[in-house]
Amino acid sequence: MRTTCPYCGVGCQVEPEIQGGRILRVLAPDIPPNHGALCVKGRFGLDFPFSGKRLLYPMVREDRRQAFRRVSWDEALDYTASQLLAVLKRRGPEAIAIFPSAKTTNEEVYLTQKLARALLSTNHVDHCSRLCHSSSTVALSRSLGGASMTNPIEDIWKTDLFLVVGSNTTETHPVIGAMIKKRVRQGAGLIVVDPRYTGMAEAATLWLRVRPGTDLFLLNAMARHILEEGLWDQGYVEERTEGFAEWRASLEPYTLEEAERITSVEKEKIALAARLYATTKRAGAYWAMGVTQHTKGTATAQALVNLALLTGKVGKEGAGLNPLRGQNNVQGAGDMGALPDVFPGYLKVSDQAARKRFEALWGVELNPEPGLRMTEVFEGIPKVEAIYLIGEDPVTSEPYQDHLKAKLKALPFLVVQDILENETTPFAHVVLPAASFLEKDGTFTNTDRRVQRIRKLLDPPGEARPDWWIVQELGKRLARALGRPWALYPGPEAIWEEVRRAIPEMMGGITYRRLEGEGVRWPCPHEDHPGEAVLFRERFNTPSGKARFFPVHFTPPAETPSEEYPFTLSTGRVLFHWHGGTLSRNSQLKEAYPELKVEVNPKDAQRLGIGDGEVIQVVSRRGRIQARAWVTERTPEGVVYAPFHFAEAPANRLTLNALDPFSRIPEYKVSAVRLEKLD
Amino acid sequence: MRLKVNGQEVEVQEGTLLLEITDPPHLCYHPHTETRGLCRLCLVEVNGRLLPACATQAQEGMEVRTDTEDLRTLRKTLLEWLALFTDLSLAPGLQGLLEAYGAHPGRWGRVPETRKEREPIRDNPFFLRDYAKCINCRRCVDACGEGIMGVWALTLEGRGLLAHPTTPLDRPLPETPCVFCGNCIQVCPTGALRPLSMEV
């Protein structure tokens, strides 16, 4: 039976064959988005639901000094409800935060944020895209009035030039990476902006090896050069944008000469990249964490948006602005309102008309104050007294791990709802065992806005239950105590029907019946609508219908190398693993990449006398980890690269929690470290 | 454009492959890998000449025959040779074809040394390469290279009866650019490439 891969945002369709409690093999059907192709994670990494680390029974402890005791679902849910209600009564809604997950279904995210908003009156609702594309979301929303890929994945076949910035596409979105590479073999150009020699850089027609954290300068310099050469799309800028004059003036300092000095990329290369991007009609920009995970993540994403508007690339086939979303349902989690400032459909919590819509639908009065973002919630402990985590492992994924652990220890009440034991479970008071993607029905929305079905192929093990069931049962108890209404749903489809009614302009035409075939892209307002492929063809989703330029300026990273910490550490992922490693390291994938390897440039290795494969220590101002050195040209001189998947050697013990002022994303991509030999 | 297939008038769009409008048996052709014209099983008679249906575009006025006595004999022989040199035990589709064409590999006698004697290669945590079952269709090579992934971890080596796809210089897969996407497994028609999870 067909379902949707639970790893990245590509949303590949998979057909796992299950026999005798294990996966025999995984094939892929010949339908979008992957048309039969898969990557190693989808092909060989789907067996984590069979892991011995599955959480099987609800567990409770009143105090962290006690051991967990196994309890019935009734007891676990009653206890959770009573604790949340006690915090609500004592400290008000501001003291409670709930994080739905970008790994759960749309239906589950919708229900979870509804529980937070309609029952607990809190807007402290957020999810892990805070740590990945929140910078893109801010930049795209304020400029275009929408924060998703503007173009469909299929447009890759119509694209003549790819501008890929800060995305290790062949390892993090391998199926899209392979498509882009194939299109390049057919003759399209590929400009890659990345400090590392990734698979994309290898395939590039032009590789700009920027110094980490300087791509904003490069992008602004490209824009300035395009203006200087008169290669911009004057008609488009006049008709479809605003704020141009002010922005243009702001580019004054970004000369090619200065860009070369700051980014260390030769100015001729920057000029060539600018000319190619401006003069190729079907040129699409793609980017990921290399852009967003900086203290100037929003500014850098904005520089890309400005560049695309200047050259008239948005609203056209084979072009556009395409942030590659990380988690399988990170697009859907945002669409369903797992964000502190918006309801489902990105309707603003502070907007009265939007609030009225949801007040009428849910039959309650709603809190008009936007909530705290995830990174702020953790900082807000112990003022924030209760956190309900679904499918998140902040101990692995948040920066500056030791600081985060101290915060969690000071948190009076933590609920962890997940499928597998992870690094955060030991901090919980209540553990609620959830069903995996193989064990429930629902929908995920992939990176290009395609809503796709997941299907129940197995019964959950032990007493694990689907997240929607758990949230619904908890809601029942909270509603009873608060005297508030709380609808009950027989299953995920009934929840989806409410989503269709809540945001008809976006999801109205998408029914489970239609999704039996291939997925349907939003916006899809009615059942005869095919779903929109390219956004903003005629107008942008802003009040004026025009896109807006915003001036953005280069600032150096929060922490720069010093004598004591002479290297720049960049963190990220590898092909064989997924984020905190909870899934991939409990699957067949662990054998292919069993332990942390830190990339060190050969020149640096030689200077420090570090041999390939030697175990070393990586030390920052915040902590140290042990790792095997991988001496490779992939990383430039002065830079070391560490994947963050390994709980026993967590790269996030080293990173700092300096945040972007707009998106509050941490600066994972730049921190200062030194390397020590073990003696 | 119009053409005749087995005496029947057919109207098709320009660029249509004969394989899309006829139904001869075929092995190497796969829409994702763009492999074509190798196995010769899909040969059809076009204006009296034999051409592979998977690599021939329809043209105005063609007269195509897909099931003549000569074609049946040719396919029968091709299938017998496949069965002589390879272990088709995990290829139920091919076994069905052998039966349908009345193929009897035994009439050629025993073949001295073939790929059939090869031991499966296990050099990675995910899948094995069992070249005793390989029929040289090259789909895996194309899926790995030009067709899908663009990593070229697989290539063709050897001549004649010993020809088979393998890694460049026969290196273990982890020492090649292989990304273990398993797209080679998905397109393999005979189980020569199969996940270790299928081994009990």
pLDDT for residue B162:
74
Would you tell me the crossing angle of helices A492-502 and A106-114 to the nearest 10 degrees? 70
A146-193 pLDDT tens trace: 989 999 999 999 999 999 999 999 999 999 999 999 999 999 999 999
Question: Closest-CA residue in chain B for A23?
Answer: B197
Q: What is the mean pLDDT of residues A455-459?
A: 96
pLDDT at A1 over 70: yes
Tell if the CB–CB gap between B195 and A592 is shorter than 8 Å. no
A513-537 pLDDT tens trace: 999 999 999 999 999 999 999 999 9
Confidence of residue A340 (pLDDT cuts 50, 70, 90): very high
A461-509 pLDDT tens trace: 999 999 999 999 999 999 999 999 999 999 999 999 999 999 999 999 9
Chain A hits for B186, CB-CB cut-off 8 Å, are 27-28, 36-38
Among the partner-chain residues B32, B179, B182, the one whose CB lies closest to the CB of A575 is B179
A91-134 pLDDT tens trace: 999 999 999 999 999 999 999 999 999 999 999 999 999 999 99
Collect all residues with Cβ–Cβ distance below 8 Å to A668 and sequence separation of at least 6: A131, A289, A293, A399, A571, A644, A652, A655
Tell if the CB–CB gap between B126 and A588 is shorter than 8 Å. yes
Tell if the CB–CB gap between A592 and B32 is shorter than 8 Å. no
**How buried is residue A167: exposed, middle or buried, by Cβ count under 10 Å (0-12/13-18/19+)?**
buried
CB A126 within 8 A of CB A119: no
Q: Report the relative pairing of strands A283-287 and A161-165 from DSSP bridges.
A: parallel
Tell me how many degrees the CA angle A439-A441-A442 measures, rounded to the nearest 5. 135
Chain B hits for A170, CB-CB cut-off 8 Å, are 179
Alpha carbons within 13 angstroms on the beta-carbon side of residue A432 total: 28
Confidence of residue B113 (pLDDT cuts 50, 70, 90): low
CB contacts under 8 A, B 4-33 vs A, are: 31-32
From A663, A671, A510, A554, select the one nearest A215 (Cα to Cα). Answer: A554
- Per the structure block, which two tokens stand in for A367? 């809190």
pLDDT at A269 over 80: yes
- Chain-wide mean pLDDT for chain A? 96
CA B199 to chain A, closest CA, distance in angstroms equals 9
CB B124 within 8 A of CB B173: yes
CA A597 to chain B, closest CA, distance in angstroms equals 16
Nearest 5°: phi and psi at B97? -65, -40
Owner of token pair 């062949």: A170
- Per the structure block, which two tokens stand in for A92? 């008000």
- Mark out the alpha helices in A318-373 (DSSP H runs): 330-335, 352-362
Chain A hits for B149, CB-CB cut-off 8 Å, are 37, 178, 181
Where b means 16+ CB within 10 Å and e means fewer, A49-60 reads: bbbeebbebbbb
A25-83 pLDDT tens trace: 999 999 999 999 999 999 999 999 999 999 999 999 999 999 999 999 999 999 999 99
CB A99 within 8 A of CB A386: no
Q: Which of A44, A48, A575 should be substituted to probe chain B, the one whose Cβ sees the most B Cβ atoms within 10 Å?
A: A44
CB B55 within 8 A of CB B16: no
In this structure, how many other beta carbons lie within 10 angstroms of the beta carbon of residue A638?
A: 15
Q: Which of B183, B187, B188, B193 should be substituted to probe chain A, the one whose Cβ sees the most A Cβ atoms within 10 Å?
A: B183
Question: Closest-CA residue in chain B for A179?
Answer: B148
Cα separations in angstroms, B89 against A163, A197, A218, A494, B191: 48, 44, 58, 47, 9
Owner of token pair 């030689």: A606
Collect all residues with Cβ–Cβ distance below 8 Å to B5 and sequence separation of at least 6: B21, B22, B64, B66
Radius of gyration of chain B (CA): 18
Owner of token pair 């108890």: A477
Tell if the CB–CB gap between B32 and A37 is shorter than 8 Å. yes
Among the partner-chain residues A24, A35, A38, the one whose CB lies closest to the CB of B198 is A24
Confidence of residue A24 (pLDDT cuts 50, 70, 90): very high
CB contacts under 8 A, B 118-137 vs A, are: 124-126
A292-332 pLDDT tens trace: 999 999 999 999 999 999 999 999 999 999 999 999 999 99
Q: What share of chain A is helix, strand, coil (3-state, %, to 5)?
A: 35, 20, 45
Tell if the CB–CB gap between B126 and A40 is shorter than 8 Å. yes
- Per the structure block, which two tokens stand in for A111? 């229900």
Question: Closest-CA residue in chain B for A593?
Answer: B125
Task: Give the SS3 label for residue A72.
Answer: coil
pLDDT at B114 over 90: no
Among the partner-chain residues B32, B186, B197, the one whose CB lies closest to the CB of A24 is B197
In order, the DSSP letters of B73-121 are: HHHHHHHHHHHHHS--TT-HHHHHHHHHTT--GGGG---SS-GGGPPPB
Tell if the CB–CB gap between B197 and A592 is shorter than 8 Å. no
CA distance A53 to A55: 6
Tell if the CB–CB gap between A38 and B150 is shorter than 8 Å. no
pLDDT at B159 over 90: no
Among the partner-chain residues A30, A35, A40, the one whose CB lies closest to the CB of B179 is A40
Tell if the CB–CB gap between A178 and B186 is shorter than 8 Å. no
Chain A hits for B146, CB-CB cut-off 8 Å, are 182, 185
* More confident of the two residues A283 and A678: A283
Among the partner-chain residues B180, B194, B198, the one whose CB lies closest to the CB of A592 is B180
Among the partner-chain residues B180, B186, B197, the one whose CB lies closest to the CB of A28 is B186
- Chain-wide mean pLDDT for chain B? 92
Radius of gyration of chain A (CA): 24
Strands laid side by side in the A161-165 sheet: A206-208, A189-193, A161-165, A283-287, A321-323
Task: Give the SS3 label for residue B21.
Answer: helix
Tell if the CB–CB gap between B197 and A181 is shorter than 8 Å. no
Tell me how many degrees the CA angle A284-A289-A294 measures, rounded to the nearest 5. 120
Tell if the CB–CB gap between A38 and B194 is shorter than 8 Å. no
Task: Give the SS3 label for residue A235.
Answer: helix
Q: What is the mean pLDDT of residues B124-130?
A: 96
CA B3 to chain A, closest CA, distance in angstroms equals 29
- Per the structure block, which two tokens stand in for A170? 């062949």
Q: Report the relative pairing of strands A321-323 and A283-287 from DSSP bridges.
A: parallel
pLDDT for residue B199:
86
Residue type, B24: P
Tell if the CB–CB gap between B197 and A23 is shorter than 8 Å. yes
CA A202 to chain B, closest CA, distance in angstroms equals 11
Among the partner-chain residues B150, B182, B197, the one whose CB lies closest to the CB of A178 is B150
From A178, A79, A106, A64, select the one nearest A453 (Cα to Cα). Answer: A106
Tell if the CB–CB gap between A181 and B181 is shorter than 8 Å. no
Cα separations in angstroms, A243 against A135, A231, A238: 20, 19, 10
Which range, A390-399, A444-453, B47-56, is most confident?
A444-453
Tell if the CB–CB gap between B197 and A178 is shorter than 8 Å. no
Alpha carbons within 13 angstroms on the beta-carbon side of residue A365 total: 2
Percentage of chain A with pLDDT > 90? 98
Tell me how many degrees the CA angle A320-A324-A330 measures, rounded to the nearest 5. 120
Alpha carbons within 13 angstroms on the beta-carbon side of residue B114 total: 17
CA torsion sign for A52, A12, A181, B157 is positive
Question: Closest-CA residue in chain A for B145?
Answer: A182
